[in-house]
Each structure stands twice: as structure tokens, then as C-alpha cells.
A and B are shown apart, each in its own frame.
Chain A
Amino acid sequence: MSVKLTTRQVGDVTVIDAVGRITLGEGASTFRDLIRDLSAKGDKKVLLNLGEVSYIDSSGIGEMVSGFTTVTNNGGQLKLEGLSKRVKDLLQITKLYTVFEVFDDEADAIRSFV
């Protein structure tokens, strides 16, 4: 199973709920396409909920970084919530904890956007 992405609006924050695997191929490209669509629409506050993501490979990590750059270059912010221990470990290993703002609680994440 690759990733299934749905979006919902919480105030002015667009929350992306991801379910499944973000890996090379369909999963990574699905995420890339959605981020491009959101940026084209002018969405600047994006929260990626990874609570139901079971697996991310280096290509998936690359797409998340690329998404971060796309949103940031558009004057926006991309933050993460609901990371499993395994995904947190990946961010530690790759030092991307220094890049992404990560939240355990969605309400805290929503409040953090300025």
C-alpha cells in the first residue's frame, strides 16, 4: 500500500493526514503533487500529520524536505505532527530534527503557526 493523503482545514492551517507508506514511487510522488497544489493555491500554513504513516524511506524523507523547501520558498511553513518512534528516529539520524518543527499534539501544532 502506498500513501493516502487527505486534507482538512483547521482555521487557516491546512492539515494533511497521511496514511500508509511514503516510499520511492507512487507514495513519494503523491506527496510531491499535493504540496505543489497547496502552494499553487497559496496555502502557507501546512501541517503534515504522520500519525498513520507506517514507513518512510530515504526517498520519502527527500520528498518531505523538498515539500518543506517549496512551502518555505512560498513564504509559508510546513510542520510535522504525530510521528511514530521509528519516524522520529529517522529525523534524528538524518539531523532533520533541526529543520522541521515537530509536535506530538495537534492543538499545540496549530497554535504554533503565526
Chain B
Amino acid sequence: MAETEHGKIYESHVLLNSTLDSVDKAEEIVLEAVKEMGFEEDDGHQIGMAIRECMVNAVVHGNRYNAKKHVHLDVDATPTQLTVTIGDEGEGFDLGSLPDPLASENLLRQSGRGILLIRAFMDDFDLHPRPGGGTEVRIVKNLSRP
């Protein structure tokens, strides 16, 4: 894809259903941008994993599989930066309420590691209320060119 006047080489804005199939679909869309940008394979794997974790949070915890609710996926790529925004239409989420998954008393908890992995794999992570209701996550990965 040619670079636009805004410096973007990839752009996609999609409304997805609240199903696990949408997790695959979102990863597929983002990996198109990853390929376009020329990320290394390991980076692509980590970005794909971060997207899946965000999507699972949106579908399962945010929208609770509600067929009337959607997940809003926005992907923007410049030659050096990938930005993905994933919004749900759920009841909202307080990041501070999440137990620290690395605390010794929480190591054997079954859940609560998704955001830890997203933060580990991406360069920037921001979670905020979505305008109109729900939660929006914005994640960024920078591409260092030699």
C-alpha cells in the first residue's frame, strides 16, 4: 500500500461481532498491517497475541458475547508505528480492580494475565472509557528500522 499524505501505509476500521471468531478476524486484519510494515516474525507473533488478548477481553468480559453489542477495531500504521484501538460496548472496566498477577498470592489464579502480556508485548498501552459507553484499549508498537 502506498503511503498517504498523512503518512499512513495501512488503515482499517471495522465493526466486529461479539464472538470468538472475531478474535481470529481481528488478528488477521492487524497482521496484514504488520506484514505491510515489515516487522520481524517474533514481533508479529507478539503483536498478534496482544490483539487476541485485547479482543478476548472485549468479547468475553466487555460485551459478554452479547449479539447486540459490537467490538470496534481501528488499525493505523505509519512506516514506523502501528496503533490499534479496540473498543467494546460493555459496562466499563476499572484497571485498578485487577489483582497483580505477579504477586505471589496470585500466581496460581487461573485468570488475570491478559493485560500483563499485552503490556509486555507492546510499547504503549492505554485503557480508558470509550465515548458512548464501554472500554477502549489503545496499543502501540514501534518499528525500529536499521
B-contact 0/1 string along A52-81, CB 8 Å cutoff: 000101110111011011000000000000
Q: Are A90 and B117 in contact (CB under 8 A)?
A: yes
Give the CA-CA distance A59 to B112 in the complex, in Å. 9
Closest to A59 in B: B56
Chain B: minimal CB distance from A100 (Å):
10
Complex Cα gap A95–B108 (Å): 10
A99 to chain B, nearest CB (A): 6
Q: Do most interface residues of chain A lie in helix, strand or loop, or is the interface mixed? A: helix
Nearest B residue (CB) for A61: B113
Instruction: Check: A88 CB closer than 8 A to any chain B CB.
Output: no
B114 interface residue per 8 A CB criterion: yes
Interface string of A88-111 (1 = CB under 8 A from B): 001001111011000000000000
8 Å CB interface, B109-139 against A: 109-111, 113-114, 116-117, 120
Check A86 against B45 for contact (C-beta < 8 Å): yes
Q: Are A25 and B120 touching (Cβ within 8 A)?
A: no
The CA-CA distance from A68 to B52 in the complex, in Å, is 24
Contact across chains for B49 and A93 when beta carbons are under 8 A apart: no
How far, in whole Å, are A26 and B137 apart by their CA atoms in the complex?
A: 26
Q: A86-B45, A93-B116, A94-B102 are contacts. A58–B53 as well, Cβ < 8 Å?
A: yes
> B14 contacts the other chain (Cβ, under 8 Å)?
no
B35-66 contacts to A (CB < 8 Å): 42, 45, 49, 52-53, 56, 60
B20 within 8 A of A: yes
Residue in A66, A68, A90, A95 whose Cβ sees the most chain B Cβ within 10 Å: A95
Residue B15 CB within 8 A of the other chain? no
Shortest CB distance B41–A (Å): 11
Interface residues of A (CB under 8 A from B): 23-25, 55, 57-59, 61-63, 65-66, 68-69, 86, 90, 93-96, 98-99
Binding site for A on B (CB under 8 A): 20, 23, 42, 45, 49, 52-53, 56, 60, 101-102, 107-111, 113-114, 116-117, 120
User: What would 19 more interface pairs be, CB under 8 Å, given A62-B113, A94-B101?
Assistant: A24-B23, A24-B56, A58-B56, A58-B114, A59-B111, A61-B113, A62-B111, A63-B110, A65-B107, A65-B110, A66-B110, A86-B42, A86-B45, A93-B116, A94-B102, A94-B117, A96-B107, A99-B107, A99-B108
